[in-house]
Amino acid sequence: MPNIRRFSVSLEKDLSGQFDLLIKQKKCNSRSEAFRKLIKQELIQEEWLKGRETAGAIVLVYDHHKRELLNKIMHIQHDYSGVILSTQHVHLDHHNCLEVIIIKGKPREVQGLRDKLKIIRGIKCSSLAMASTGKEIP
Amino acid sequence: MPNIRRFSVSLEKDLSGQFDLLIKQKKCNSRSEAFRKLIKQELIQEEWLKGRETAGAIVLVYDHHKRELLNKIMHIQHDYSGVILSTQHVHLDHHNCLEVIIIKGKPREVQGLRDKLKIIRGIKCSSLAMASTGKEIP
Amino acid sequence: MPNIRRFSVSLEKDLSGQFDLLIKQKKCNSRSEAFRKLIKQELIQEEWLKGRETAGAIVLVYDHHKRELLNKIMHIQHDYSGVILSTQHVHLDHHNCLEVIIIKGKPREVQGLRDKLKIIRGIKCSSLAMASTGKEIP
Amino acid sequence: MPNIRRFSVSLEKDLSGQFDLLIKQKKCNSRSEAFRKLIKQELIQEEWLKGRETAGAIVLVYDHHKRELLNKIMHIQHDYSGVILSTQHVHLDHHNCLEVIIIKGKPREVQGLRDKLKIIRGIKCSSLAMASTGKEIP
């Protein structure tokens, strides 16, 4: 495989033992795979911290019976149409809706959208999953 | 409005001033509304900490070209069909997919599903948005 | 009490009930006190997000037998003497030390100091408690 | 060095390139050292999640002029004397004190202590740095 690079790592025996235990518990396939996961996790954290383009999802929970709530959510989403890729709606029960807004953009824009949605009266919860565009994560 | 309860709160003048400033910056409508948000935030945190039934979304980012990746993701999701409400898929670019899995269940089950997805080779990112079923959040 | 301001808050009955339950569980004295805590928490978060002067502590854990480790830690601390208020050292066992570095400064400087300490070989852990100078938190 | 174990890791070229860049930015000495940091970080997270014995610090900020505040803090600390290793006190300004309480114990006990301190009237901030006893982190 030409696009694979191999290099050696030296770990103290104790640390290596602890690491192998952790891999086993998490049912990870190999040390290399475990290292890949750790590196990717770190790269995504940097993506958000450094303000680079990224992706993720905002999850809203609300009671759709609240007056004007749906209109307000829709209105704000249109102001951020450049950041929103798509939305999905689930009816949790007779009252409660869960709406997922998939976003792609700078962390600051995403945070701006979330702040605007958060303060709407009737929004019970606005939660953010910080993922990635995957572009810079091989 | 019969289902509204009114009571008085006493705050030190300085704290009350700082709070009003914060409300203004966040463009919140009223003190009552700001208090509601703070309480709801706290209740949702408790929901997750106490292991009560909750809802949210897991966001995966992956390269769909990776061999067997899609089958593995599908296979695990079927093991957790009791927790998964629906999924949504977005093509970020030629290589990268973002998949949102909407979940409802105990925090432990949600975490179990996430851990299993996380270690699949080729998954670049698995992020969790901790929301709520809304049932206990008036 | 002249420096106390009183105002009324209206909450939905359900929400108010949930809030009272939470207060009882946490053994908080009164609704006003619970509101004060929630507001202060929010103000401190803003302090760190907005990059204002703040305070807190960096906690290091290391094996003091590691060659040159103590010198390196000392050296870096001197570069950041403007940010460090004091340090405290605890011998956890024959090998392990826990050192607390109390800091006061801009979040960016604090993060810079932490990053430099983190990468020293032999440092097992570098953890940050984000507190406050208290100045802006009445 | 007899207690060092060497093994090879294979990474995709792109990922390895990104990782080397990250190492350079963070001024880390070598790939092996960077891997050690990532593993240790993961082990400490597990320590707290799994409820094993651990160590860290609680940071309090308060105005020492508040009536009865010091007595209350002292009283609670004595109830948790089995968890508290030492405390340190810094005078931030005429009003504000920052107190660091170094703790060693199960995460649940530490959280219990923190909750009790948090609700004392006059406590402006109670923040936790989750570190480690270092015993299980080679």
Report residue A132 as tokens: 């990635």
CB pair distance less than 8 Å for C125 and D26: no
- Helices C31-49 & B13-25 angle (0-180, nearest 10): 50
- For residue range B82-104, what is the model confidence (pLDDT) as tens digits? 999 999 999 999 999 999 999 99
Q: Is A80 helix (H, G, I), strand (E, B) or coil?
A: coil
Q: Pick C82 or B136 by higher pLDDT.
A: C82
- For residue range D62-85, what is the model confidence (pLDDT) as tens digits? 998 888 899 999 999 999 999 999
Q: What's the average model confidence in pLDDT over A29-50?
A: 89
Share of chain C above pLDDT 90, in %: 54
Q: What's the average model confidence in pLDDT over C13-18?
A: 89
Separation in Å, CA C12 to CA A19, A66, B20, B29, D12? 50, 13, 21, 16, 55
The arrangement of strands across the sheet holding B123-130 comes to: B84-91, B96-105, B54-63, B123-130
Residues from chain C that touch D95, judged by Cβ atoms under 8 A, are 134
With 80 as the cut, is the pLDDT of residue C119 above it? yes
User: Which pLDDT value is given to residue C28?
Assistant: 81
Domain segments of chain C as ranges: 13-49, 54-130
Residues from chain B that touch C37, judged by Cβ atoms under 8 A, are none
> What distance in Å separates the CA atoms of residue A115 and residue A134, rounded to the nearest whole number?
25
> What distance in Å separates the CA atoms of residue B54 and residue A12, rounded to the nearest whole number?
42
User: Which pLDDT value is given to residue D2?
Assistant: 60
- Helices D31-49 & A31-49 angle (0-180, nearest 10): 90
CB contact at 8 A, B72 and B120: yes
With 60 as the cut, is the pLDDT of residue B1 above it? no
The maximal CA–CA distance of chain A, rounded, in angstroms, is: 63
User: Looking at the partner chain, which of B28, B93, B100 has a beta carbon nearest the beta carbon of A57?
Assistant: B100
User: Which pLDDT value is given to residue D138?
Assistant: 79
The verdict on A22 touching D (C-beta cutoff 8 Å) is yes
**Can you say how many angstroms the Cα of residue C14 is from the centroid of all Cα atoms in its chain?**
34
CB pair distance less than 8 Å for D13 and A3: yes
Q: Is C81 helix (H, G, I), strand (E, B) or coil?
A: coil
User: Looking at the partner chain, which of B6, B12, B36 has a beta carbon nearest the beta carbon of C4?
Assistant: B12
**Which of C26, C32, C59 has the highest number of chain D CBs within 10 A, making it the mutation to test binding with D?**
C59
Backbone phi and psi for residue C46, each to the nearest 5 degrees, phi listed first: -60, -40
User: Which pLDDT value is given to residue D125?
Assistant: 94
Share of chain A above pLDDT 90, in %: 54
Share of chain D above pLDDT 90, in %: 54
**What does the buried/exposed string (b/e) look like for D18-39 if buried means 16 or more CB atoms within 10 Å of the residue's CB?**
bbeeebeeeebeebbbbbbbbb
What pTM does this model have?
A: 0.82
- For residue range D18-53, what is the model confidence (pLDDT) as tens digits? 899 888 888 887 888 888 888 998 899 889 988 899
**Of A55-69, B16-30, C71-85, C123-137, where does mean pLDDT reach its minimum?**
B16-30
User: Which pLDDT value is given to residue D114?
Assistant: 94
Q: Which helix (H) or strand (E) holds C110?
A: helix C107-118
User: Which pLDDT value is given to residue D12?
Assistant: 86
User: Which pLDDT value is given to residue C29?
Assistant: 79
List the 61-100 stretch of C: residues with Cβ below 8 A of B.
none
CB pair distance less than 8 Å for C131 and D131: no
User: Looking at the partner chain, which of D5, D8, D43 has a beta carbon nearest the beta carbon of A22?
Assistant: D43
Report residue D104 as tokens: 């060693």
User: Which pLDDT value is given to residue B14?
Assistant: 87
Distance between B21 CA and the closest CA of chain A, angstroms = 15
| H helix and E strand count, chain D | 4, 5
Distance between A24 CA and the closest CA of chain B, angstroms = 11
- For residue range A66-115, what is the model confidence (pLDDT) as tens digits? 888 999 999 999 999 999 999 999 999 999 999 999 999 999 999 999 98
Share of chain B above pLDDT 70, in %: 99
CB pair distance less than 8 Å for B132 and A61: yes
Q: Pick D11 or C59 by higher pLDDT.
A: C59
The arrangement of strands across the sheet holding D84-91 comes to: D84-91, D96-105, D54-63, D123-130
Residues from chain A that touch D24, judged by Cβ atoms under 8 A, are none
Backbone phi and psi for residue A35, each to the nearest 5 degrees, phi listed first: -65, -40
ipTM: 0.87
User: Which pLDDT value is given to residue C2?
Assistant: 61
User: Which pLDDT value is given to residue A65?
Assistant: 85
CB pair distance less than 8 Å for C57 and D135: no
Band of pLDDT at residue B57, cut at 50, 70 and 90? very high
Residues from chain A that touch D3, judged by Cβ atoms under 8 A, are 12-14
> What distance in Å separates the CA atoms of residue A38 and residue D17, rounded to the nearest whole number?
15
Q: Is A34 helix (H, G, I), strand (E, B) or coil?
A: helix
Beta strand A54-63 with A123-130 is antiparallel
Cα-based torsion angle of the residue sequence A127, C35, D98, B13 in order, rounded to the nearest 10 degrees: 120
User: Which pLDDT value is given to residue A134?
Assistant: 92
> What distance in Å separates the CA atoms of residue B48 and residue A7, rounded to the nearest whole number?
41
Q: What's the average model confidence in pLDDT over C37-63?
A: 92
User: Which pLDDT value is given to residue D65?
Assistant: 85
Band of pLDDT at residue D1, cut at 50, 70 and 90? low
CB pair distance less than 8 Å for B8 and C7: yes
User: Looking at the partner chain, which of C13, C17, C32 has a beta carbon nearest the beta carbon of B9?
Assistant: C32
Nearest CA in chain D to A38: D38
Beta strand C84-91 with B123-130 is unpaired
Separation in Å, CA C81 to CA C7, C78, C87, C113, C129? 45, 5, 11, 10, 19
User: Which pLDDT value is given to residue B2?
Assistant: 61
CB contact at 8 A, B63 and B122: yes
Q: Which CATH architecture does the domain made up of A54-130 adopt?
A: 2-Layer Sandwich (3.30)
Average pLDDT, chain A: 91
CB pair distance less than 8 Å for D90 and C86: yes
